[in-house]
């Protein structure tokens, strides 16, 4: 059975020159849905290894595992690219409660990535609630000093693209503590960047910017349910006291790796197409959606090209980036080395928006490139992939940007992504096998088309038949 699945597509591709792009795409989707590897790889990455925060043992295990699996695929090259990454450790599970009218109410919090610990026996203070860190200026030091700043900003529910809603609040999480500290706050509690009401706190990166070490204050996320409770309690009792305890720690940078595999191009080996996701994840869940899904889909792109008997003209690389979450060191390192070596990257595709049903792609390139890509849209229509738009591609491939490269991001349905993002419930059972495989096929199809027709602006627009 397995041999048949392997041979049929090879036969079709090799002997049937009249094979249309529609036929090739059909083969790719069939291979993914009947013989895909992405779900099996994700199972291992999520359930056997688990959360893979940069600098952790699990991140190292994920490097070794994915390298070994890529080596099994018979690619032309597989290697590790060293990169120094930050090492931040959460420590003991965080604890928090508030007291009002003599009653103690426990709440769910988690330290934000990069935060300092609270004093050993915790931190207790009165609370001042703000809608955004910008409100601090109008309150001034007199109302903020000595208090915990509670930044209660909810994701805007009427935005259909939930990434926009997330983007509208992420600066609060990232800079909130640094801004509050300037007014003498002793800590910050930030409402979780989640689309729904539940009890899971969502972590994520934060930064103190250039704030001196002595002035830094601990910062945590609170679950959306508890943010509402705290806000209501504050309306009744503005003098209530909030307590939290965290033991997180920042260590010196450690060495880690980007994992890279390559199929060398038959006609233009010095032109590169990179496809990737990030291998690191936050530590609370197992990082199945963010970004285990993108990792295994990217690995499957190269496997499916081989399985479908497609010999690419250009060199196709899978790049599993390390440290997207709290440093972007892997993405920067890959672009830096590519520049040093003078490698001409013509296209890069990232999957880092969850393993949900694919809707299309966002493209970051010049208008000629986008016009050419848009002509391929009908090829994706049978798979309900209609959404092609100009826009942001992804964090890890961003550093590759120049005038001659087209960048793209896989765009899955985003409605449930922020229910899981950076939280304990970002786990394998919340990834649907078919949805994940459709994403892998969609990425493979686009890589196949870009490799076949190129994206060079100087070339005459080729007419896409079929």
Token pair for 256: 């880690």
Number of residues that bind Zn ion (CB under 5 A): 3
Query: How far is CA 4 from its chain centroid?
Result: 36
CA distance 363 to 392: 7
Instruction: Select the residue interacting with Zn ion from 262, 283, 352, 419 (CB under 5 A).
Output: 352
Token pair for 417: 């992504």
Q: Which stretch binds Zn ion (CB under 5 A): 333-341, 351-359, 439-447, 451-459?
A: 351-359
**Residue 21 vs 426, nearer CB to Zn ion:** 426
Residue written as token pair 């809608």:
131
**Residue 128 vs 322, nearer CB to Zn ion:** 322
**Residue 134 vs 164, nearer CB to Zn ion:** 164
Quick one: 237 exposed, middle or buried, by C-beta within 10 A (0-12, 13-18, 19+)? middle
Q: Which stretch binds Zn ion (CB under 5 A): 38-46, 148-156, 181-189, 347-355?
A: 347-355
Shortest distance, CB of residue 79 to Zn ion, whole angstroms?
A: 23
Q: Which stretch binds Zn ion (CB under 5 A): 87-95, 229-237, 350-358, 441-449?
A: 350-358
Backbone phi, psi, residue 328, to 5°: 60, 25
Sheet holding 344-350, edge to edge: 77-89, 249-263, 314-321, 268-278, 344-350, 406-412, 358-364, 387-390
Token pair for 188: 């910050």
Q: DSSP for 244-303? A: EE---EEEEEEEEEEEEEEE--SSEEEEEEEEEEES---SSS--IIIIIHHHHHHHHHHH
How many Å is the maximal CA-CA distance in the chain? 80
Q: Which stretch binds Zn ion (CB under 5 A): 52-60, 349-357, 383-391, 423-431?
A: 349-357
Per-residue x/- mask for Zn ion, residues 277 to 296, rule CB under 5 A?
Answer: -------------xx-----
b/e sequence 384-414, b meaning 16+ C-beta within 10 Å: ebeebeeeebbbbbbbbbeeebbbbbbbbeb
**Residue 352 vs 364, nearer CB to Zn ion:** 352
Please confirm, yes or no, whether 460 is among the known catalytic residues: no
Shortest distance, CB of residue 205 to Zn ion, whole angstroms?
A: 11
Contact 438, 296 (CB under 8 A): no
**Residue 26 vs 421, nearer CB to Zn ion:** 421
Q: Which stretch binds Zn ion (CB under 5 A): 80-88, 96-104, 348-356, 373-381?
A: 348-356
**Residue 94 vs 290, nearer CB to Zn ion:** 290
**Residue 277 vs 312, nearer CB to Zn ion:** 277
Contact 388, 431 (CB under 8 A): no
Nearest to 43 by CA among 356, 318, 287: 287
Q: Is 437 in the site for Zn ion (CB under 5 A)?
A: no
Quick one: 146 exposed, middle or buried, by C-beta within 10 A (0-12, 13-18, 19+)? exposed
CA distance 183 to 145: 6
**Residue 204 vs 261, nearer CB to Zn ion:** 204
Shortest distance, CB of residue 184 to Zn ion, whole angstroms?
A: 34
Residue written as token pair 């959404």:
387
Token pair for 103: 């009653």
Shortest distance, CB of residue 372 to Zn ion, whole angstroms?
A: 29
Say which of 179, 324, 325, 350 is annotated catalytic. Answer: 324
Residue written as token pair 């700043």:
149
Shortest distance, CB of residue 163 to Zn ion, whole angstroms?
A: 11
Shortest distance, CB of residue 255 to Zn ion, whole angstroms?
A: 22
Shortest distance, CB of residue 346 to Zn ion, whole angstroms?
A: 24
Shortest distance, CB of residue 374 to Zn ion, whole angstroms?
A: 27
Q: Tell me which residues are annotated as active site.
A: 324
Q: Which residues bind Zn ion (CB under 5 A)?
A: 290-291, 352
């Amino acid at each position: 059975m397995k041999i048949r699945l392997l041979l049929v597509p090879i036969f079709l591709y090799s002997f049937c020159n009249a094979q249309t792009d529609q036929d090739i795409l059909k083969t790719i989707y069939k291979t993914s849905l009947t013989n895909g590897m992405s779900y099996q790889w994700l199972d291992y990455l999520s359930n056997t290894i688990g959360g893979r925060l940069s600098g952790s043992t699990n991140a190292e295990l994920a490097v070794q595992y994915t390298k070994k699996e890529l080596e099994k695929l018979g690619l032309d090259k597989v290697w590790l690219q060293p990169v120094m990454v930050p090492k931040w450790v959460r420590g003991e599970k965080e604890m928090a409660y508030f007291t009002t009218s003599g009653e103690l109410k426990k709440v769910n919090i988690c330290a934000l990535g990069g935060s300092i610990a609270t004093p050993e026996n915790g931190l207790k203070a009165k609370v001042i609630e703000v809608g955004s860190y910008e409100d601090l200026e109008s309150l001034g030091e007199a109302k903020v000093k000595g208090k915990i700043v509670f930044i209660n900003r909810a994701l805007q529910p009427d935005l259909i693209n939930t990434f926009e809603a997330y983007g509208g609040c992420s600066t609060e999480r990232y800079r909130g503590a640094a801004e509050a500290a300037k007014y003498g706050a002793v800590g910050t509690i930030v409402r979780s960047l989640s689309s729904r009401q539940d009890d899971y706190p969502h972590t994520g990166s934060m930064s103190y910017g250039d704030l001196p070490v002595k002035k830094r204050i601990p910062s945590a996320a609170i679950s959306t349910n508890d943010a509402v409770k705290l806000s209501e309690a504050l309306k009744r009792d503005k003098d209530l006291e909030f307590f939290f305890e965290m033991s997180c720690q920042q260590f010196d940078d450690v060495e880690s790796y980007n994992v890279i595999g390559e199929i060398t191009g038959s006609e233009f080996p010095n032109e590169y197409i990179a496809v990737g996701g990030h291998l690191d994840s936050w530590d609370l869940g197992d990082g199945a959606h963010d970004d285990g899904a993108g990792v295994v889909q990217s690995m499957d792109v190269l496997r499916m090209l081989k399985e479908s008997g497609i010999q690419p003209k250009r060199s196709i690389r899978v790049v599993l980036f390390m440290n997207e979450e709290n440093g972007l060191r892997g993405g920067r390192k890959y672009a830096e080395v590519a520049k040093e070596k003078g490698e001409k990257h013509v296209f890069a595709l990232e999957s880092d928006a969850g393993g949900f049903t694919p809707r299309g792609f966002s493209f970051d390139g010049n208008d000629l490139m986008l016009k050419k890509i848009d002509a391929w849209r009908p090829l994706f229509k049978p798979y309900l992939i209609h959404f092609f738009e100009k826009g942001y591609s992804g964090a890890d491939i961003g550093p590759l940007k120049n005038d001659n490269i087209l960048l793209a991001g896989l765009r899955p349905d985003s409605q449930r992504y922020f229910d899981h993002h950076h939280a304990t419930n970002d786990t394998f059972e919340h990834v649907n096998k078919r949805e994940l495989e459709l994403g892998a096929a969609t990425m493979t199809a686009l890589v196949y088309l870009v490799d076949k027709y190129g994206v060079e602006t100087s070339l005459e627009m080729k007419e896409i038949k079929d």
